[in-house]
A and B are shown apart, each in its own frame.
Chain A
Amino acid sequence: MKRIGITTTVPAEFIFAAGAAPVDLNNIFVAAADPGGMVERAEADGLPRAVCGWIKGMYGAALSCRLDSVIAVSDGDCSHTRTLMEILGEEGIHAIPFAYPYDRDYGLLKLQMEKLAATLGITFADALAAMRKMDAIREKLHRIDLMTWRDNTVSGFENHRYLVSASDMDGDMERFGKQVDAFIGEARERAALPQKIRLAFIGVPPIFTDIYQFLETRGARVVFNEVQRQFTFPSDTDDLVERYRRYTYPYDIFSRIADIKSEAEKRDVHGIIHYVQSFCHHQMEDVVFRKHLSRLPIMTVEGDGPGPLDARTRLRLESFCEMLAAKRAAKAAS
């Protein structure tokens, strides 16, 4: 089976329809036995220190696993991805560009999908058939999300782990679907988790390995993973193009803000953690988020290389949880 790398969420329906396995390079990188080694390799090959850790990790991941090609998001993600695509091309990995049109133009997006279908040798109808299969699993992921915030039986990390995997379904839809079923069965039997503080996690998925677990030791649980949830396509349209138009992450920040506001309200969130990656353009978005999400306390956390939280970030998160607990206690007393 062909293995096609992806640099972020792309319409994986087309890859599955082509009988190939999508491989999200981010997931390969961060779940590797030695993710730090992948970054080191990238830096040893000359990628600058001041470039996002995910890009260097994806570079290392692409070179370490056998791939037939890579679909790289050339518009709707960062410009580093474009250069990564060109560098990987030099290493003999064929890159297929995919562009999310910034203005969400339906016709342009459809054209991108048709181009992708032609490149992979399939039809649009083939992709629609794959979409229906993927949707059966996405529904289960929506269930996990519901169990996270409504039933309180799923941890922030578990929510992250399953939802983030929606981008490539671990490269094997059937096996992933079975894992998800088994997890739901197990989590359904659980009692509600004890953490009283409810957090939203916004921004790109974290490069830290233990942030969710650490928060839970401080009495706080993430009940909303913004971008990871977007990977599961929560909108209910059957129109494949429209679905990728409603997907918030590759477009403007304001649709993300609207999504965050409504989900935070619905999920009774007490505070927001805005995760940013060092040297990433998304860092600048903090200014806009703070302006538009001022109703809730926000803590911005920055990560660089893969691994556990550093002492300083732990201190900040701990203080944030402490502050939220005190606010809740004061509110309850008044």
Chain B
Amino acid sequence: MKTLGVDVGSRYVKLAAYSGDEPVFAEMADTIAFYTACRTPAGLDLRRLDTFKNRPFDFDRIVSTGYGRYNVKLSGAEVISEIRAHALGATYQTGLSDFTLLDIGGQDTKVIRVRAGEVDDFVMNDKCAAGSGRYLENISRMLGVPPEEMGNHSQNPVELSVTCAIFGESEVIGNIAEGVAIGRICAGANLSVAQRLVALVRRFPSPAYVVTGGVAKNGAVLEFLSQKTGAAMTVPEHPVFNGAIGCALMHTARVQ
């Protein structure tokens, strides 16, 4: 059976295709570009994506999740919530069945407790971008430090506000004006994200912690999370595609 999982996130749309248990491809597109390319009078048509220019669109099942999940109007497409998609993706990718999952996305963070392979409970961040990927992205742009380098900084963090993403940015400008080293500011931003997350993670103490989403690629955030929780953070092979993988594999026996 060929399956396609689609995670329509706030920043990127992630696609994961499988043939049975075997991965076929995983690709992502900018969310705005995705909507522009795929919009048709009848709804969104995935076939118009560059991904399918030189590939057949021959899936037996398509499952979508994410904010735009209901817009992906394709015949036979199934819709599941992000909580379920991420829990399934992490279960599949790590082989664990009892763990707490932190999915740190573009605009929100989900902390999900999985027990015996099922979602047991979950919390999400409140209506604020502090502690999300978007916050780190803004700081990286302001500092001119590429996102992939942000995670190299964990030494001697400068103190930044953890209460508001916007005020956090003005604090960064203040720090630059005072001549604080860029590395320390990056470390401070990473620390403030971790601090924000720890408050959510503490709700669900667990034998294992799994981190997914774009921020899972930030080593400094992971380091701070480990320091604050006293536990190791497991990052699966494809942290960014975790939700799409959960969608693609929800019908296979191995996940269920």
Residues of A within 8 A of B (CB): 297, 302, 311-312, 315-316, 318-319, 322-323, 326-327, 330
Q: List CB contacts (< 8 Å) of B111-151 with chain A.
A: 116, 118-122, 124, 126-127
Whether A319 pairs with B122 at a CB distance below 8 angstroms is yes
Secondary structure at the A interface, as helix, strand, loop or mixed, is helix
Whether B127 pairs with A323 at a CB distance below 8 angstroms is no
Enumerate chain B residues within 8 angstroms of A322, measured Cβ to Cβ.
Answer: 80-81, 83-84, 119
Enumerate chain B residues within 8 angstroms of A297, measured Cβ to Cβ.
Answer: 121
Given contacts A302-B127, A311-B67, A312-B108, contact A318 B121 (CB under 8 A): no
Whether B119 pairs with A326 at a CB distance below 8 angstroms is yes
Task: Give complex CA distance A302, B127 in Å.
Answer: 9
- 16 further A-B contacts with Cβ under 8 Å, apart from A315-B81, A322-B83, A323-B122, are A312-B108, A312-B127, A315-B82, A319-B82, A319-B83, A319-B84, A322-B80, A322-B81, A322-B119, A323-B83, A323-B84, A323-B119, A326-B118, A326-B119, A327-B118, A330-B116
Given contacts A322-B83, A323-B83, contact A316 B124 (CB under 8 A): yes
Interface core residue of A311, A312, A316, A319 (most chain B CB under 10 Å): A319
Query: What are some 24 contacts across the A-B interface (CB < 8 A)?
Result: A297-B121, A302-B126, A302-B127, A311-B67, A312-B108, A312-B127, A315-B67, A315-B81, A316-B124, A318-B81, A319-B81, A319-B82, A319-B83, A319-B119, A319-B122, A322-B84, A322-B119, A323-B83, A323-B119, A323-B122, A326-B119, A327-B118, A327-B120, A330-B118
Enumerate chain B residues within 8 angstroms of A326, measured Cβ to Cβ.
Answer: 84, 118-119
C-beta contact mask, B88-130 vs A, less than 8 Å → 1, else 0? Answer: 0000000000000000000010000000101111101011000
Q: Whole-angstrom distance from the CB of B63 to the nearest CB of chain A?
A: 14
B69 (CB) vs chain A CBs: closest residue: A315
Q: List CB contacts (< 8 Å) of B51-89 with chain A.
A: 67, 80-84
Enumerate chain A residues within 8 angstroms of B127, measured Cβ to Cβ.
Answer: 302, 312
Enumerate chain A residues within 8 angstroms of B82, measured Cβ to Cβ.
Answer: 315, 319
Q: Whole-angstrom distance from the CB of A207 to the nearest CB of chain B?
A: 14
B85 (CB) vs chain A CBs: closest residue: A319
A304 (CB) vs chain B CBs: closest residue: B127
Task: Give complex CA distance A319, B113 in Å.
Answer: 13
Enumerate chain A residues within 8 angstroms of B67, measured Cβ to Cβ.
Answer: 311, 315
Enumerate chain B residues within 8 angstroms of A315, measured Cβ to Cβ.
Answer: 67, 81-82
Task: Give complex CA distance A311, B108 in Å.
Answer: 12
A324 (CB) vs chain B CBs: closest residue: B119
Q: Whole-angstrom distance from the CB of B216 to the nearest CB of chain A?
A: 20
Enumerate chain A residues within 8 angstroms of B124, measured Cβ to Cβ.
Answer: 312, 316
Task: Give complex CA distance A90, B157 in Å.
Answer: 51
Q: Whole-angstrom distance from the CB of B213 to the nearest CB of chain A?
A: 15
Q: Whole-angstrom distance from the CB of A292 to the nearest CB of chain B?
A: 16
Q: Whole-angstrom distance from the CB of A197 to the nearest CB of chain B?
A: 14
